[in-house]
Amino acid sequence: MTNSRSSASPEAPAIIPAEKAFALAAEGLVKRFETVTALNDFSLHVQAGEIVGLLGPNGAGKTTALRMLAGILTPTAGRVSVNGLDLHADPLVAKQHIGFISGDTQLYHRLTPREVLRYFGRLYGMAEDLLAGRIEQLVSELEITSFADRPCRTLSSGQKQRANIARAFLHQPDVLMLDEPTAALDVISGRFIIEAVRRARAQGGAILFSTHIMSEAEELCDRIYLLHEGSIRDHGTLAEILARSGCNNLTEAFLRQALQGREN
């Protein structure tokens, strides 16, 4: 986007060697809206083949963080790199590596899932023949066939979210960001998405998964960041976090962190 004024030049990507190992890395992100600080000193990294959970209650700053990581919002301070590319210096190239889904994202009502996929494929600069093949592959893999040619406004939320996943997977991004993707879904549709995310990890994708559902995080994530009131309170594997907090499950560990934060 034009948030960054320098233009993208695919020939000369800005390489940040120190972060090259990480598919996604954020360093010291700060986001202020007028007087409110939504996110403070937020650092995070995700490696290829790893699902990282961003866990926090409503209003913790998860969506703000993910939007900055996806290049939709410009951070007040700090930087984001995607596969070593500086997201805000080189947004057009860096965004090619990102797939983004959020729970509230809708599709174009009057287009069919197939048309939506074709549209985004073109925006991502995919070649037409490659795109056609990729669409067919996703339509069958994600079981979209039965509703692939119906206008999106006639689809159920589960179907919509499946089409949305197809859209996010379409350009084969190395980094997937999911912002509470199961929020509005029933158990079966939710499960379907979890499985899709697992498959993406198996294929070497780096996945950042935000949720406020603790059990989902426990089940799915290799590492977890606990976010509360705009700053990260703890991070590590599930076992590490539980050990540090001395709790039996993530919910209790989280509550303890949250209360500690308040006492401090």
Partner 1 sequence: MRWHIIWTIFRKELTEALRDRITLVVLVGLPILIYPVAIFSAMQMSKHQSAVEDHRVFKVAVWGVGADGLFDWMRPATNRVALERWVGIEEPLRKDFETGRVQPPTQTNASPERPNLQLGNRSMKLATEPEDAVLKAAREVVSRRQADAVLIIWPGFDEAVRRQDSGQVAVYYDSVIPQSGQAWARLSGQLANYREQLRQDRVHQRQLPSGFVRALDVRGDDVAPIQRQLSDVFGRALPVMLIMLAVVGALMPAVDMTAGEKDRVTMQTLLCAPVRSLEIVGGKFLAVWTISLLSAGANLVGVGLTIGKIASALQVDMVHIGALVAALGLLLPATWTIAALFLAVAVLARDAKDAGNFLGATTFGVMLLVAVPLLPGVELDAWTCCVPLVNVSLLIRALLTGNVGVPLIFLTLVTSLAYASFALSLAARVFGREQNLLGGPISWRSFLRADGQGAPVATPGFALLVFAVAVAAMFYIGLWLAPYGLMVILLATQFGGFFLPSVGLSSLRKLPLRETFSLRRPHWRSVLGSVLVGLTASVTLAGLVLRWTPPPESFLREMQEMLRLGSDHISLWKLIPLIALTPALCEETLFRGLLLSGLRRWGALASIVLTALCFGLLHGSIYRLLPTFVLGLILGYTVWRSRSIYCSMIIHCLNNGLVAFVVWQSQGQDVDIKSVPWSLTLGALLATTIGLLLLRGPKAVSDAAIPEKA
Positions in the binding site for partner 1 (CB under 8 A): 1-9, 11-12, 33, 67, 70-74, 88-89, 91-93, 95-96, 98, 100, 102, 104-111, 115, 119-120, 122-125, 151, 167
We find the least distance from the C-beta atom of residue 145 to partner 1, in angstroms, to be 22
Dihedral sign, CA of 39, 43, 49, 54? negative
Look at residues 126, 118, 65, 72 and name the one whose alpha carbon lies nearest to residue 95: 72
Minimum CB distance to partner 1 smaller for 92 or for 132 = 92
Sign of CA dihedral 179, 180, 184, 186: positive
Shortest distance (Å) from residue 171 CB to partner 1: 9
Q: How many helices (H) and strands (E) does the chain have?
A: 9, 10
Select 129 or 263, whichever has its Cβ closest to partner 1.
Answer: 129
Cβ closer to partner 1: 5 or 262? Answer: 5
Closer to partner 1 by Cβ: residue 99 or 224: 99
Give dist(CA 141, CA 192) in Å, integer.
Answer: 11
Strand segments, DSSP code E, in 156-248 are 175-179, 206-211, 223-228, 231-236
- Min dist CB 117 to partner 1, Å, is 12
Question: Shortest approach of partner 1 to residue 156 CB, angstroms?
Answer: 16
**Contact of 22 with 47, CB cutoff 8 Å:** yes
Helices 157-169 and 187-202, axial angle in degrees (round to 10): 10
Question: Would you say 74 or 231 has its CB closer to partner 1?
Answer: 74
Nearest distance, CB of residue 105 and partner 1, angstroms:
5
